[in-house]
Structure 1
Amino acid sequence: MKVLLKSISMVLITMVAFSCQPKSNTISIFVEEGIKEKVAFGLNQFETFLIESGNQTIITNSKETAQVILELKNSGSSDDDSFTITNQNNVITISSSHKRGVFYGLQDITEQLKSGESWKDISGKAVDAHYKFRAIKFNLPWFSYRSGENLALHYDTCKDLKFWESFLNMMAENKFNVLSLWNLHPYMFMVQSEKFPKARPFSDEEMKEWQSFFKTIFKMAKDRGIETYIFNWNIFVSKEFGEAYNIGEYSKDSGFWGEGETNALLEEYTREMVSKTINEYENLTGIGITLGERMGGMTSEERRDWINRTMIAALKEANREVKLFYRAPLSAGLSSHGTVSKSTEILTREAIESIDMEDDVYLGFKYNWSHGHSSPKLSIVHGGILTDTYWNPKPKNYKGVYTVRNEDFFALRWAQPDFIRNYLSNNSQDYIGGAIIGSETYIPAKDYITKEEHRTWDYAFERQWLFYKVWGNLLYNNSISDDYFINSLEEKFNIEDATELLNAWKLGSMNANRVASFHRGTWDATLYTEGFTTIGGKFIDINKFINHPVLDSSYVNIKDFVAGKFKEEQITPIELANITEKESNEALAFVKSFKENHQDNKLLQIELNDIEAWGHYGLYFADKIHGGTFLETYRKFGKDGAQFKAVKHLEQAADHWKVYTETMERYNVSEMPYQFDPKFSWRKHIADAENDVSIAKQD
């Protein structure tokens, strides 16, 4: 059986276990003198395993006696984690410009051995990193951007360093190399102001605990080759600062929407806190800034100038250089609403090009706003459609990074490597340096979705293990084949052949992408795909469904289709419904067969249940399209039989929603907190699905 790793440390362990060497053999490893400390994390785990297995290791000073050689090469790029493997005379050499590349090379060797290759047949290869910046967006539950039970319930889990050790191991395994931590004002949890002592929210003892917490996370990340960034939303201060100096009173209740204050005291406090954080946290890699929230009432020039006087000035004043992530302005006007303009793009480009940084600045955009798992084609960013100002002419000191947000599925598992490949094919221009994966309204820490009696894992991110695996590994190597993920499924569930299982995941997961491409979402609440809801947690009824615009121009909405306002090359609603129905039925047929053949595999049954749920969801979507199309046809042309057909399809859709609900409740809680509906449930929307039938009958 093919087996993949569960952590970077296991790479070294497994390599020996399958090296065809007898027990009590001494494995000789040569590590260049200058990199022993850098790769100590993996080597320590390796030696522990060998001792427990009755074997020994020698870290030799002689390449001539080594069976494994690890080396770092000087390529002039400190963040290049590509790697090469050579095999000469049964001596394996792994070479990279970064210690991550060494880890990844060891992973590759292990996978070859696990797939049946002998030590002497290990293939030499060179693998180039597709994106150099492969990040996870992680919102911290304290002083969070949004508030609610769905975020607050993660507090204890996120204060537990065991959680972070597990999460960072997952990141390293899946080749994510940046952890970005977000909240409104992270600096007050990391340093105490000397200039403004009344601004301190914590006692000295409490501050020591917070500092130890963050320093430990940053050190664990560095050991695993993971960079760390902290992101804020700019004009926020501690509640104590606001009370003491009568400034930024909105910080008391985390009110992120509205006008920001720009007085000299607040700016001095911000500069101090940022530079002090950089100075005191030697393992912190970078700072992320946001030109948006609490900058209402400010022009684009005023926002830029505030950033320059505070954040950029603090970076210059610090006693060491860190990297900078500069989020593109979220608003081109005076309000906090999302807007874009060419003049703001010109202004932002000039601002970034004037920053003298050792490393390239990362310029961030929200990919398809808050719904990155929609279309593999870029349609909008936060605020609308960009011009080519940022990229023409080619930038010299910055790279673009897309934040691929997920506000669309939290309970349902998702895995669609073909979608990611298409995304990469469309968004890998030489000016794009990477991607950030994550959500604003969901923290992958405490699992509050799975029923307790069915949960055999510790943390929420482990539910979505395949989501992270497909994203992380493809961001690193966009040419990696499906075999890699098939092997992972076979190891996870102890099954012989997972080829069709991966295909079923693809078929089911595409329903999320199709819905979010067909029904245009913008900010977070405008579309919650798995719940089929919009702003206020309101169910998307048939009237809104018919008239709402599409996100991806490859599609046409129902209203325009019936009116004949579409292009020949566009995918019609009927074509979309037909392919959705076909592939959903294929996924359901597979699940039925596979469930019967693996009845004793509980973990597999739970995940098959999600594919089944996606299948019923897809059938609901398909019948709703058919129903909406017939209903709009009846309304516009009064055709005989169209209303009857609309009612029939919407009745079928309601039945599919009922089965979808039952499937979701099989292993998950019946009610869960969601950011825009604190008591969300699929069951309460059965009445809404049935109401579509009533709407059609009333016409």
Structure 2
Amino acid sequence: MSLSRDADATRISVTVGNDDNATAQSYRLRVQTQGRRRVITVLGADPVGAMYGGLDIAEAIRTGTLDSLTDSDHKPHIAKRGIKLNIPLDLRTPSYTDCSDAAQANIPEMWEREFWTSFLDAMARHRYNVLSLWSLHPFPSLVKVPEFPEVALNDVWRTRAKLDDTFSFSGSDMVRPAMLANREVVKRITIDEKIEFWRWVMQQAADRGIQVYVFTWNVFTFGAEGKHGITNDLDNEITKKYFRASVRETVKTYPLLAGMGITAGEGMPNNMDSKVKEAWLWDTYGEGVRDALKDDPKRQFGMIHRFHWTAQSDILDAFKEYPGPFEFSFKYSVAHMYSITKPQFIKPLLENLAPGRKTWLTVRNDDIYTFRFGDPTYAREYILNIPPADKIAGFYMGPDGYVWGRDFLERNPDPGTRPLVMEKQWYSFMLWGRLAYDPSLTDSHFERLLAARHPKASSTHLFRALQGASQVMPLTTRFFWGDIDLKWFPEACWSHRRSKGQGFYTARHFMEGSSMPGSEVLCIRDWRARLVARKPMEQTTPLEIADALDGAAAQTFASLDALREAATADAELRKNMNDCEALAWLGRYYAAKIRGACALAIFDSTGGKFDHDAAIRHFNDALSHWKRYAAVRDAHYVPALYNRLGYVDVTALTTQVAADLDIAREWKPGTLKDDGKRSGTEKGFRN
């Protein structure tokens, strides 16, 4: 490859080396001067390393920094960097997210080749190399099982029934009779064609250096129940034989499948002895893999066992004869990766992890569904704080309440186009993937990429606007904690209405709530107790969180003002700015709400008119900010039904935001409840 520039030229060559000592995925850039020519050579340790090196060169060309390239060595900071996709395959074989608008809209997309080439291209470009596909029971949509021929499903179905928020949190009723009765066929395709399709997807992934895993929850039999005597009863021997045979056929049918992930989870009774759970999983998944590998004993097929209502010792005892790589999986930030950069939940696990064993990190993003994220400082610190490689196999990040397929939230998309979420939020996905490979990349590197994407805009101001707006969720969530997705959705100050009957979180909830464990942030009750007792504030106070939120909003608004003119001719820049503006108003809302709750807590203690008036004033401000937030958000995005959260309509919630004023006006001193709990983590959250 040769690039000419006047009389000078730069020649680029890419070479795949055979260095047995080189780290997988690593590469070296070597720059030589030959007269008036520069020769840049990429030496990849393997094809993936060569590809990453080539992508570096392409990026340098795009950003105009080719002349600044020098000799450098590159290797992955985290070896396995993945995406978690709850995949909506079919009405009859749902994922955990299928009772949501995003999942229903994306069912046809999962069976389109153009979707997967774009998706996998974006993964490789951002340096992700693991794709994990999560489904309650995917086998009928993926394989034919000779012993159970009626199970395999032709065609792709979707329900036309209107969904609501009454689905079980455990996934047990994800396919209802009314949904099956009112259905449509979105694609005519035989099971043989489905198998060919998914073999093609896995080949496309392999060509881009991406390994594919399939994860299941257990025990679900959607699509198979009632056929051949199959039920979801763990004691049903036919069901056990069916699962074992389905696992066997999945392994054999897909030679490029890297492994499976399993769960002793929602489909098993909570009070069942973990030894019994693990015995069932071994008899089905473990033995199924062993059956498949009898004909291919050299194949390395991984098994990832989630820590989920089961005991490590029982897992290891049951799977002691597993014939391949065996690792664990743990919810690193529970459901909120946008909270603090060093979550503490994994500490007990690491202290007791069996020697030589590793765990994957499930990095859940149930914080930001709608908006673009862009804070490299936060992402870099989070990645650098991930425990070392002797304990950690890698990570996969993704949501449970939303689907990272195509984006169906945008109110008025460009005609005929719905971008992938990974395309819409390209900057966010780039930050996490690139920094996970190389956390030494500087902020200026990402600013240059913004400049190349939006050449007429000030990259400095765009960088600062995105960074300021992206601080709103972490600041708020570390102060007000709900561990799992159904308990806290910061985009709407919301929880599922069946989660202790809360729905919208009121001023009282903020006063009685807890901060995130390990965040070093005082909740309002602790702050008030220290204030009244004149004790020093040794942790971040609620008012300091409010000040930080206002500071982030101020940074965002100031930077947006400098971008207005450039946005007139740049549609994507305008969308970035809309997201930033919405988040800035949301930050101001939470700042005012926190101040109001603090003032009301003092009034509860003292009965002073000054504090009561201050609380009312702050809640008035909060209402004003919320209206601005809702106006910006809902001008560009539609309300939506989310899994385990229900239907969220930000504008409609304005009435409940206003009710905080009534709560403040009618508050009686001495009525603030204090149950003594200070930790936001409760027993039973899903690891």
Q: Same fold (TM over 0.5)?
A: yes
Which residue in 2 is equivalent to 1:339? Answer: none
Deviations 1:40-87 (A, max 9, x none): xxxxxxxxxxxxxxxxxxxxxxxxxxx62412324368x821211223
Report the AA paired with residue 510 of structure 1: Q
Q: Distance in 1 between matches of 2:322 and 2:17?
A: 29
Deviations 1:499-552 (A, max 9, x none): 231122111111111112111122221011111101228111110111111114
Which residue in 2 is equivalent to 1:270? Answer: 243
The CA deviation at 1:487 is: 2.0
Which residue in 2 is equivalent to 1:326? Answer: 304
Deviations 1:650-691 (A, max 9, x none): 11001000000111123223x222234554211111111110
Q: Which one is further off, 602-611 or 131-140?
A: 602-611
Which residue in 1 is equivalent to 2:59? Answer: 111
Is it true that 1:187 corresponds to 2:139 in the alignment?
yes
Q: Distance in 2 between matches of 1:109 and 1:438?
A: 29
The alignment partner of 2:31 has SS state of strand
Deviations 1:413-438 (A, max 9, x none): 11221111111222132312321111
Return the TM-score normalized by structure 1: 0.82
Compared CA separation, residues 358 and 232, structure 1 to 2 (3 A): closer
Which runs of 4 or more aligned residues in structure 1 lie more than 6 Å from their structure 2 counterparts after TM superposition? none
Which residue in 1 is equivalent to 2:585? Answer: 616
Deviations 1:543-565 (A, max 9, x none): 01111111143101111211228
Is it true that 1:82 corresponds to 2:23 in the alignment?
no
Structure 1 residues 128-277: aligned runs within 5 Å = 128-141=75-88, 142=90, 143-150=94-101, 151-202=103-154, 206-245=190-229, 247-248=231-232, 261-277=234-250
Q: Which has the higher helix share?
A: 1
Q: Distance in 2 between matches of 1:127 and 1:349?
A: 36
Compared CA separation, residues 405 and 453, structure 1 to 2 (3 A): closer
Which residue in 2 is equivalent to 1:255? Answer: none
Q: Distance in 1 between matches of 2:344 and 2:96?
A: 25
Deviations 1:326-352 (A, max 9, x none): 2333114xxxxxxxxxxx234445556
Q: Distance in 2 between matches of 1:484 and 1:530?
A: 29
Which residue in 1 is equivalent to 2:387? Answer: 428
Residue pair 1:617, 1:656 contacting (<8 A) in 2 also: yes
Residue pair 1:200, 1:238 contacting (<8 A) in 2 also: no
Which residue in 2 is equivalent to 1:92? Answer: 40
Q: Percent identity?
A: 25
Report the AA paired with residue 218 of structure 1: M
Compared CA separation, residues 246 and 348, structure 1 to 2 (3 A): closer
The CA deviation at 1:574 is: 0.9
Report the AA paired with residue 609 of structure 2: D
Compared CA separation, residues 613 and 72, structure 1 to 2 (3 A): same
Is it true that 1:475 corresponds to 2:442 in the alignment?
no
The CA deviation at 1:484 is: 2.6
The CA deviation at 1:457 is: 5.2
The CA deviation at 1:152 is: 1.3
Is it true that 1:511 corresponds to 2:472 in the alignment?
yes
Residue pair 2:142, 2:194 contacting (<8 A) in 1 also: yes
Count residues with an aligned counterpart.
611
Q: Distance in 1 between matches of 2:112 and 2:370?
A: 23
The CA deviation at 1:496 is: 5.5
Which residue in 1 is equivalent to 2:661? Answer: 693
Deviations 1:365-403 (A, max 9, x none): 11221122211121336xxx7344444x6x32x322211
Identify which of structures 1 and 2 has the higher relative contact order when contacts are C-alpha pairs closer than 8 Å and 6+ apart: 2
Which residue in 1 is equivalent to 2:399? Answer: 439
Gaps of 5+ in 2: 156-187, 668-687
Report the AA paired with residue 20 of structure 2: S
Of 483, 488, 491, the residue aligned with 1:527 is 488
Q: Which one is further off, 531-540 or 684-693?
A: 531-540
Q: Distance in 1 between matches of 2:462 and 2:231?
A: 57
Is it true that 1:309 corresponds to 2:283 in the alignment?
yes
Which residue in 2 is equivalent to 1:46? Answer: none
Residue pair 1:517, 1:550 contacting (<8 A) in 2 also: yes
The alignment partner of 1:85 has SS state of strand
Which residue in 1 is equivalent to 2:267? Answer: 294
Return the TM-score normalized by structure 2: 0.83
The alignment partner of 1:245 has SS state of coil
The alignment partner of 1:433 has SS state of strand
Of 622, 627, 631, the residue aligned with 2:596 is 627
Which residue in 2 is equivalent to 1:68? Answer: 13
Q: Distance in 2 between matches of 1:261 and 1:461?
A: 38
